[in-house]
Amino acid sequence: MSITEDTESPSPELMLAFYRRLYPFRSIFGWLNHEHAPTRLFTHREFSFTLQGDIYLRYHSFNTADDLKKQVCSLNPTRFEIGPVYSARPRDKKTVRPAAFTPTLRELVFDIDMTDYDTIRTCCSGADICARCWVFIAAAVRVLDEGIREQFGYKHLLWVYSGRRGIHLWISDREAMELTDEQRRALVGWMTVIQGGKEMHKKVNVRTGSRPLPPSLQTALNSLAEVFGELILTDQDCFASREGWEALLRLIPDTGIVKELREKWDTGPHRSSSEKWEDLKDQGRKYKGTPRRTALQTAMEDIILQYTYPRLDAEVSKHRNHLLKAPFCIHPKTGRVCVPVDPNRIDDFRPERVPTVGQLLRELDEIATTDQAEGAEHHSDWEKTSLKPYVEALDKHVMALMEETRRAKRKTDLTW
Amino acid sequence: MFSARERFLDTNENTGQVQTHSNLKYRFRLNFYDTPPIEDITIEEFETCALDRLRVLAEIESSFARNRPYDELKTITLAQCQKYLPLHSSSAITVDTDAERRKDHIGHFVLRLAFCRSEELRRRFVKAETALFRIRYESDDREERGKFLGSRDFDWIKVSDGERKVYKEQLAAAAPTAKEVNVDNENYYKVKWTRVPDLVEKRRVFLKGGYAYVPSREQSSIVFQEFQTSLTKALEMTAKALPRLDEDTRIVPILNNLSQGFLAGVSSEWSTASSTEGDGITADMVEDLARRHFPACMRNLQETMRRDRHLKHFGRWQYGLFLKASRWVLGLPIEEAIAFWRKSFSNIQEDKFNKEYRYNIRHLYGLEGKRANYPAKSCTQILTTDQPGSSDSHGCPYRHFSADNLQTALLSMYSSQGLTAADLPEIMNTVKAGHYHVACTRVFEITHASRGVKKGEGVGDGESVTHPNQYAARSRELERGKAEAAKAEADGDVVMG
Ligand code: SF4
Ligand SMILES: [Zn+2]
């Protein structure tokens, strides 16, 4: 079942009520600003707005969280995006010299989208997503989260559900913020394994000759091998159809083995994916101790990577000036909130359980009718809804970030 | 005398003290240019040091534009350095290494001033300078290089034996080929990964907690990256400090000239490169010479003049100075020049010619007016100054013609010398990328293939066209060279005839 069926495209009225009463502007401010008093991290930050009818406004900037809220409520955008910190206030862009207006800081961001898995997944396609295909995203999140922390040493990672079929990652460590485009490109290069478009069958080319996998990918492979077994072989049964198994055979370089397997699978078309994978392993055993086995082994490792390794939208990550939808925006098609996701519990995350804007406002209405006496205080209304755990998750993330900023400041004070 | 001292001090916070080591003021051949020169510099030095360096950098730039493989770039650059910017190792006893290094030092800092003023210029300058540094680094004496590296804090942490053992497997797996794996004998250095993005991008290091474990064989990557990063920062700082410099009317024009030259990919006033031979060209020979040896800009003027029997003001200047500067190249003396123009402007009445044009031509030759010795225009000047209006014919066809007109013009001018339609896509791509002189160089190569010029050789030693006179001179030289092949071969150096 796909989750798009039971969702709603939110009306402008709903959106406005959401911005007025529920959107956690203060938390977002803290997250972008890294401390309580506004700094350039916030004031020189680009915001862009998408209005009804796909009108796109760029280069807005604000002094405080309240300024941002005021503008959002008056424009009532379908969504808004966050860009880099510039060397001048984005709203002054027209009046400063072009040379004095350059992006300086920016979270390192990643975007993983389910559509990039369309050639593999068998349960859904296009904009649809179900619990079964979320497993691909979950695997990607685990590999990326672990890799970034282990290899690059970053700590302040915020994962955000994109509201429909993907997930975003925002990294706010100071060093990550400061990365140049060149360094971003390098990091993305390091992380990218799946390359080549539709016309390229073999999308994993990470080895030099017959050398072992680079150490970072060896680690990833170890955890992905398990995912491969459960997800690709069992749940998605990717090699069940002829189309599926032919795709698999195209990735085996040994024509002798390919020929043998094709004959076998043609005559027994009902062999499951797991059985077919076993057939491959049998071939390996047959050629034990020969280079043919090593080549097959290598190919099988690459196949595991090709079917399970995170598929990144590299362009998003490479440039500081790329805009990305702000957390807690509403997905215009599904009405779902783009909520933070805990990577440690990514396997339990269910996109279909993410609150929609309609649901949240109904929750608020119910409270209002039960205790009308309470009245005015709007900015913490989210506490009374199922948005609460998500805002709290962001606040916790922000606190760690602010603590880090304090520590860094203390350190520079000492060195003076 | 002009002292650039305070200027440099102003524009760089890094005003270190002079260090005197042994007898040499400059201990090392290589230089990270951390500190600006602090002695007095004459304005002539200021300019020549910069110009000579610019020749080298411009050649590197056009090598990039022409997609030369690195090895070729290296060979060409070393040859250029040999000519304009020699830099010997400390063991060289017959040369004044201090003087060479001083020139290198000053040239670098002058060009910083010229190239800090826009993002685009900074980026290109850093790229070319880093390439130059790399080429010199790789050709440096091993021992001297070791000492040079030791003289600077690169902030790398040597990986302890213990740690090397712990990560032995990962370190070995990170090496790109099995041959290079010898973790036990290799030294590793830890640096923040951001300092070696190139190695990270290609997964050629082991990465942990934000640190890259760089084997000593890749150490140079850190050095080059460091060079690039610190130069980028320094240029940005210089740019901020520069407005104060604008007051000095003597250097600003020089700086403008330098940076414009670079933008056009052009190194210098070629016309000052002297050659001795004057070989009696007469008015009658010009048209034929044009067909055989002139670059597109001059062929276009010649053809326009033939068709219209006239040339407009800027066209006369451009072509007239070109022919005059041929004092070194073609040798069109004033009497012949007058005869040539008289003949070419055949629709003009004798009177009018004598009144207006004769004076004009004598002016050009420095015999009238302020009697200045006007040099022929370089490609830079042609490309960037006095932009032609819609009815003008001067300028550079590669830049100032529309794409289809350029293609037609090139074919009609050069197909008799071997240019075919199949060559056009490559040339047009270069033009589209804004590398006009590179396109011109390519045409030179194609039209001189019959004289043995190969792709990438340019107008000799891989140099690209920087001056129409250089183009014509080289073309004539090749023609002569055919006849006297033996003589040309005996002398390795290029003789501009
Ligand atoms: S590049 Fe220089 S020589 Fe060539 S056509 Fe243009 S101006 Fe003339
Ligand atoms: Zn699905």
B440 is in an annotated binding site: yes
Residue A304 DSSP label:
H
pLDDT band at A318 (very low <50, low <70, confident <90, very high): very high
Instruction: Identify whether A226 is part of a domain.
Output: yes
Please indicate, yes or no, if residue A140 is contained in any of the structural domains.
Answer: yes
Q: What is the pLDDT of residue B103?
A: 92
pLDDT at residue A112 greater than cutoff 70? yes
In a domain, A331, yes or no: yes
pLDDT value at B148 more than 50: yes
Beta strands, E only, A162-258: 166-171
Q: Report the distance separating Cα A387 and Cα A384, nearest Å.
A: 8
pLDDT score at B249: 61
Cα separations in angstroms, A301 against A206, A212, A217, B290: 11, 10, 10, 66
Let me know whether A185 and A242 are in one domain: no
- Average pLDDT value for residue range A317-333: 94
- What is the CATH number for A154? 3.90.920.10
User: How far is residue B350's CA from residue B259's CA, in Å, rounded to a whole number?
Assistant: 44
**What is the structure's pLDDT at A13?**
93
Q: Among A6-15, B1-10, B42-51, B377-386, which is the least confidently predicted range? A: B1-10
3-class secondary structure, A236: coil
Do both A52 and A166 map to the same domain?
Answer: yes
Domain membership of residue B496 (yes or no) is: no
For residue B265, the model assigns a pLDDT of: 46
Spatial neighbors of A297 by CB under 8 A, at least 6 apart, are: A284
pLDDT at A118: 87
Query: Which atom in ligand 1 lies closest to the alpha carbon of residue B395?
Result: 7
**Res. B5: pLDDT tops 80:** no
B493 pLDDT exceeds 80? no
Instruction: Read off the CATH number of the domain in which B88 is found.
Output: 1.20.930.80
Q: Is A61 inside any structural domain?
A: yes
For range B71-77, the mean pLDDT = 91
Ligand 1 cavity residues, CB under 6 Å: B 295-297, 379, 382, 396-398, 436-437, 440, 465, 468, 471
Tens-digit pLDDT profile for residues B117-138: 777 788 889 999 999 999 999 9
Say what percent of chain A tops pLDDT 90.
Answer: 73
The answer to whether B197 contacts A183, with C-beta atoms less than 8 Å apart, is yes
Q: Which of A323-337, A373-387, B50-64 has the highest mean pLDDT?
A: A323-337
Lowest mean pLDDT among A135-139, A146-150, B169-173: B169-173
Model confidence at B418: pLDDT above 60: yes
The angle formed by the CA atoms of residues B72, A180 and A416, to the nearest 5 degrees, is: 120
Q: Using CB atoms, which residue from A153, A186, A206 is nearest to B197?
A: A186
Q: Do A214 and B174 touch (CB under 8 A)?
A: yes
Average pLDDT over residues B340-350: 82
Rounded to whole angstroms, how far apart are CA atoms B401 and B317?
19
Going by C-alpha positions, the residue among A397, A355, A279 that lies closest to residue A22 is A355
Q: Among A308, A340, A355, identify where a domain stops.
A: A308
Q: Are residues A169 and A315 in the same domain?
A: yes
Confidence of residue B175 (pLDDT cuts 50, 70, 90): confident
What's the confidence (pLDDT) of residue B330? 53
Q: Average pLDDT, stretch B439-456?
A: 92
For tokens 């296009």, what's the residue? A126
Same domain, B124 and B46: yes
Residues B41, B106, single domain; the answer is: yes
CB A128 within 8 A of CB A326: no
Give the mean model confidence (pLDDT) for residues A146-156.
97
- Between A121 and B492, whose confidence is greater? A121
- How far is the centre of ligand 1, averaged over its atoms, from the C-alpha of B302 (Å)? 14
Any domain includes B116: yes
| Residues on chain B touching A212 (C-beta within 8 angstroms) | 173
Q: Are A207 and B167 in contact (CB under 8 A)?
A: no
How many domains would you assign to chain A?
2
Last residue of a domain, one of A308, A339, A357: A308
How confident is the model over A213-222, as pLDDT tens digits?
A: 888 999 999 9
Q: Are residues B340 and B476 in the same domain?
A: yes
3-state secondary structure of A111: strand
What is the reported pLDDT for A256? 93
Domains held by chain B: number: 3
Q: Could you give the CA distance from residue A191 to residue A216 in angstroms, rounded to a whole number? A: 9
Q: What is the pLDDT of residue A12?
A: 93
Q: Stretch B451-476: mean pLDDT, rounded?
A: 87
pLDDT at A250: 93
In degrees, rounded to 5, the angle at the alpha carbon of residue B172 between the alpha carbons of residues B143 and B212 is 70
**Does A165 lie in the same domain as A88?**
yes
Residue B440 scores a pLDDT above 70: yes
Q: Contact A185/B170, CB-based, under 8 Å?
A: no
A251 and A400 inside one domain? no
Alpha carbons B213 and B205: distance in angstroms, whole number: 6
Neighbours of ion ligand 2 (CB under 5 A): A 123-124, 130, 132-133
A220-224, B33-37, B62-66: range with highest mean pLDDT: A220-224
Distance of CA A220 to the CA centre of its chain: 17
Contact A343, A321 (CB under 8 A): no
Average pLDDT over residues B430-452: 91
The more confidently predicted of residues A206 and A109 is A109
Interface of B with A in 109-148 (CB under 8 A): 118-119
Q: Are A247 and A225 in the same domain?
A: yes
Strand, helix or coil at A397? helix
Query: What's the N-to-C CA distance of chain B in angstroms?
Result: 35
Among B438, B313, B321, B336, CA closest to B374: B321
**Domain shared by B177 and B293, yes or no:** no
**Cα distance between residue A129 and residue B126, in whole Å:** 48
Bridge partner residues of B208 (DSSP): B211
Q: Mean of the pLDDT values across residues B348-370?
A: 79
Q: Which of A23-32, B62-71, B455-464 has the highest mean pLDDT?
A: A23-32
Report if residue A93 sits inside a domain: yes
Of A14-23, A132-141, A370-379, B230-239, minimum mean pLDDT range: A370-379
Same domain as A344, residue A231? no
Which segment of A65-79, A125-139, B203-217 scores lowest on mean pLDDT? A125-139
Q: Which residue has the higher pLDDT, A113 or B371?
A: A113
Contact state of A151 with B178 under an 8 Å Cβ cutoff:
no
Rounded to whole angstroms, the Cα distance separating B76 from B63 reads 9
- At A317 the pLDDT is 93
Torsion angle of C-alpha atoms B177, B182, B183, B184, degrees rounded to 10: 180
Q: Are residues B217 and B245 in the same domain?
A: no
Residue A323 pLDDT greater than 60, yes or no: yes
* pLDDT bucket at B286, cuts 50 / 70 / 90: confident
One domain, residues A229 and A152: no
**Per-residue exposure over B151-167, b if at least 16 CB sit within 10 Å of its own CB, e if not:** eeeeebeebeeebbeeb
Residue B464: DSSP 8-state: P
Maximum pairwise Cα distance, chain A: 81
> Which residue has 């499951």 as its token pair?
A272
Report yes or no on B491 lying in a domain: no
What pLDDT shows up at residue A38? 96
Confidence of residue B364 (pLDDT cuts 50, 70, 90): confident
Q: Do residues B396 and B296 touch, judged by C-beta distance below 8 A?
A: yes
pLDDT-wise least confident of A32-41, A115-124, A394-403: A115-124
Residue A255 and residue A219 in one domain: yes
B207 and B335 belong to one structural domain: no
Q: State the smallest CA–CA distance between residue B466 and chain A in angstroms.
A: 29
Tens digits of residue pLDDT in B321-334: 888 875 444 557 77
How many CA atoms within 13 Å lie on the side-chain side of B450? 10
A291 and A364 both lie in a single domain: no
Specify whether B134 is located in the same domain as B74.
yes
- CB neighbour class for A219 (10 Å; exposed up to 12, middle 13-18, buried from 19): middle
Query: Which residues from chain B sit within 8 angstroms of residue A213, using beta carbons?
Result: 173
Ligand nearest to C-alpha A121: 2
**A341 confidence band (pLDDT: 50, 70, 90):** very high
A330 in Cβ contact with A23 (< 8 Å): no
Q: What is the pLDDT of residues B257-269, one digit of tens each?
A: 676 666 554 433 3
Whether B51 shows a pLDDT value over 90: the answer reads no
Statement to judge: residues B371 and B435 lie in one domain: yes
**CA-B443 nearest atom, ligand 1:** 4
**Arithmetic mean of pLDDT, A338-343:** 97
In a domain, B347, yes or no: yes
pTM confidence score:
0.67
Query: Under an 8 A CB cutoff, do B200 and A99 touch?
Result: no
Average pLDDT, chain B: 79
Whether residue B443 is found in the same domain as residue B417? yes
The reply to whether A289 and A397 lie within a common domain is no
Domain that holds residue B389: 269-485
Read off the pLDDT band of B276 (50, 70, 90).
very low
Task: Tell me the C-alpha to C-alpha distance, in Å, between residue A9 and each of A4, B90, B178, B415.
Answer: 10, 75, 57, 65
Q: What is the mean pLDDT of residues A119-140?
A: 88
Confidence band of B244 (pLDDT split at 50, 70, 90): low
In a domain, residue B492? The reply is: no
A322: nearest Cα among A160, A61, A84: A84
State the Cα–Cα distance between residues A14 and B48, nearest whole angstrom. 71
Q: What is the pLDDT of residue B94?
A: 78
Q: What are the structure tokens assigned to B252, written together? A: 């600003």
Q: How many CB atoms lie within 10 A of CB A106?
A: 26
Tokens of B21: 């080591």
- For A220, the domain range is 201-308
Please tell me whether B49 is known to bind a ligand: no
Are both B342 and B324 inside the same structural domain? Answer: yes
- How far is it, in rounded angstroms, from Cα A390 to Cα A383? 10
Q: Residue A9: its pLDDT value, please?
A: 81
Question: Is A72 inside a domain boundary?
Answer: yes
**B366 and B323 share a domain?**
yes
Domain boundary among A259, A278, A308: A308
Q: Same structural domain for residues B190 and B237?
A: no
Q: Which ligand 1 atom sits closest to the C-alpha of B440? A: 4
Distance CA B405, CA B486 (A): 41
Separation of alpha carbons A35 and A42, rounded Å: 10
Is A113 assigned a catalytic role?
Answer: yes
Residues A233 and A96 in one domain: no
The confidence score (pLDDT) of residue B38 equals 80
Rounded mean pLDDT of chain A? 90
B55: tokens are 């020749």
Which pLDDT score, from 0 to 100, does residue B262 have?
60
Report the alpha-carbon distance of residue B363 to residue B357 in Å, rounded: 9
Nearest CA-CA distance, residue A151 and chain B, Å: 4
Assess if residue A208 is contained within a domain.
yes
DSSP B301-348: HHHHHHHHS---HHHHHHHHHHHHHTTTTT---HHHHHHHHHHH-TTS
What is the percentage of chain B residues whose pLDDT exceeds 90?
23
Smallest-distance ligand from the CA of B395: 1
Tell me, yes or no, whether B93 lies in a domain.
Answer: yes
Kindly state the greatest CA–CA separation across chain B.
Answer: 95
Yes or no: say if A30 and A398 are a contact pair by the CB < 8 Å rule: yes
- Whether the pLDDT of residue A79 is over 60: the answer is yes
